[in-house]
Amino acid sequence: MRIKISPLLLRTLVLAVVAALVLAIPAPTQVSSAPIGNSVLARAVDIELGLVEPGEKEQLVSSGAVYAALLATGELERRAAAGKDPSKAFSRHGTQGCSNRFEGGGQGGSNVRVNQDCSLRRQAEEIVVVNPLDDDNLIAGQNDSRIGFNHCGYAWSFDGGKSWGDQTPPFWQFTLLDGHTADACSDPSATFDSKGNAYVTGVIFDVAATAFANAIVVAKSNAPIGGAFYHSPRVQPFQTYRDVPLGVVANDNDATIFNDKELMVADANAGSPKHDNVYVTWTRFSGGHSPIYFSQSTNGGDTWSAGIEIDGVNPSICTVPVAGPCNDNQGSHPIVGPDGTIYVIFGNSNTPGLGLNQVAFVKCPAANNCASPASWTAPVRINSLIGTHPRQVGPNPVTGCPSGRRCLPPNGYRVPEFTSMSISIDDGGKLYAVWSDFRNGGPPCTSPNNTATPPCDNDVFYSFSTNSGATWSSEVNVAPASKFGKTAQWQPWSKVTKDGTLFVAYYDRSYGSCETTGCNDITLAKITNAASSSRSFKYTRLTTDSMPNLVVANNPIQAGFLGDYMWVDLDSQGRPLVVWADTRGLDGTVEEDIYFARPLP
């Protein structure tokens, strides 16, 4: 008798076998698994587990979404079965949540813990924004798993980051197109408009086997509230009491579509003709490609224009698989200029050669209707984006580096060159693009499957444009080997002051023995006259002590993931505000939390 096995059941069985054999973790007697209905997300999980190999130029779904799906399959629990239990080191810190700070004597100031939950759940992939009307009112977002799977969390401060409160957003009454409410959220983003109204967004989805639906939604926090809680953006009686209706940027119920890696920005320039418009860009995985989409709200986040593709056509820079379309992308970041022009940066792989990608740029001039595809310029190449650092084949049972991702040994954290690029503009109209890549990596950190050994000379770069993005300068190395040796710097974020002083924060292995042991720090580079040949650099170590290397042995649930981006913002006086995912857990644990620093003047 021939027994037929469905593809979903076959995937479930293969997941259990791979977890047992590749990770050397005994399979439990009964494996609880949740097959994934959305084909884009299901393929992303298969890649992460080493069941299939990604295409040469295939973009990968964001880490937060994949980790939610991995939790649904039970894979992370199976990994944890052979690991240590970090809860044995846990104790309660006070009664107002688990606040913490690390004090240091340098210019970096205190490292203040942002998320306040007392659980040992992962927080990573963070953003910080400051109220343009109040430098003391800050909002920080992060991926958060305290209420199951991967969700989004948002924190607020009314004293400039000295203390924080936090919460999960009111996204869970939203009904997806398949009739379900979402059970996961990823890629948190936040912004303020010129009146001090705050907005938060995330990609929400259902990880169940028969669920294809996913959406991008927006909630609002009116100006007097300052992010302490969120409500419906729709103006209605008792607005602040209501969670729904939410603003809907994108909403799909198709197994072949997944909306991913959205970021949001409001036009907070009171003198702009489009002040208080709110914009979102994101990656839309569909039909084997990953174009960048755009939507806008002109009524305070209530309703949103139909999503449009904005990455455009340029046969001189996009030649693979055919000349013209620049539609294999990931990691867009939108900003708004003083006149209302929208600028967007993203990573593009419509280029020949494995790992030989490019940083691309488009814009919508202030006078144009940006909800129309014709209003956007053709894409421009800013610089190369070299992603040739070691690529993991099959999950790494020691470091936790997932299959298909690129990590820098001895760390197991993916090094996301596509999703950690940023753009900013000064008051003179000069644009600054920041990214990191492996162009200077070289031996001995070049072997596949993460068998390479450090030093791994990954570097952070910036380029500037003095003609509104038409052309860009040659790259400038922010952390050259001539000063820091062959050490790894990655996952940067940036913001420029009104007068052209560029701040760039990044993960850094140049301190002590971190390049060989895998510990990490956060460095803030201050680049004065950044668009001039007379530029000068000042470096501040923000972390008071190095962060321990998070690996399978000390935290199998969180190993391999440190987020896809960190963040930098500036207050009205041009002072930098920085958030990052930190592995210095409470009471000696090694686990991920969000920390904040406001460096000393």
- Per-residue pLDDT of 494-549, as tens digits, reads 999 999 999 999 999 999 999 999 999 999 999 999 999 999 999 999 999 999 99
Q: Is residue 15 part of a domain?
A: no
Which structural domain, as residue segments, surrounds residue 557? Answer: 39-597
Model pLDDT, residue 253 = 96
pLDDT tens-digit map of 239-264:
999 999 999 999 999 999 999 999 99
- Helix ranges restricted to H, 7-122: 7-22, 39-48, 63-73, 75-80
Whether the link from the prior residue into 395 is cis, omega within 30° of 0, is no
Model pLDDT, residue 96 = 58
Q: Is residue 26 part of a domain?
A: no
Q: Is residue 335 part of a domain?
A: yes
Query: Stretch 281-296: mean pLDDT, rounded?
Result: 98
Higher pLDDT, 398 or 91: 398
CA pair distance 175, 179, nearest whole angstrom? 6
Query: E strand or H helix at 590, and its extent?
Result: strand 590-597
Model pLDDT, residue 78 = 67
Say yes or no to pLDDT of 18 above 50.
no
Say yes or no to pLDDT of 25 above 70.
no
The CA angle 415-418-424, to the nearest 5 degrees, is 115
Model pLDDT, residue 73 = 73
Q: What is the 3-state secondary structure (H, E, C) of 121-182?
A: CCEEEEEEEEECCEEEEEEEEEEECCCCCCEEEEEEECCCCCCCEEECCCCCCCECCCCCEC
Say yes or no to pLDDT of 171 above 90.
yes
Q: Is residue 17 part of a domain?
A: no
Identify the CATH number of the domain in which residue 463 sits. 2.120.10.10
What band does 106 get if pLDDT is binned at 50, 70 and 90?
A: confident
- What is the number of other CB atoms lying within 10 angstroms of the CB of residue 457? 23
Query: Would you call 71 helix, strand, or coil by DSSP?
Result: helix
Tell me how many domains the chain contains.
1
Q: Is residue 13 part of a domain?
A: no
Q: Which amino acid is at 436?
A: S
Q: Is residue 379 part of a domain?
A: yes
Model pLDDT, residue 77 = 64
Percent of the chain past pLDDT 90, that is, above it, reads 77
Q: Is residue 267 part of a domain?
A: yes
Query: Would you call 429 helix, strand, or coil by DSSP?
Result: coil
Closest alpha carbon to 540 in 525, 527, 530: 525
What band does 50 get if pLDDT is binned at 50, 70 and 90?
A: confident
What band does 32 get if pLDDT is binned at 50, 70 and 90?
A: very low
**Least-confidence region, from 66-80, 201-215, 319-333, 572-586:** 66-80
Say yes or no to pLDDT of 54 above 90.
no
CA pair distance 7, 412, nearest whole angstrom? 31
Q: Which residues contact 513 (CB under 8 A, 6 or more apart)?
A: 519
Mean pLDDT of the chain: 90
Say yes or no to pLDDT of 584 above 90.
yes
Query: E strand or H helix at 309, and its extent?
Result: strand 308-309
Q: Is residue 138 part of a domain?
A: yes
Model pLDDT, residue 120 = 86
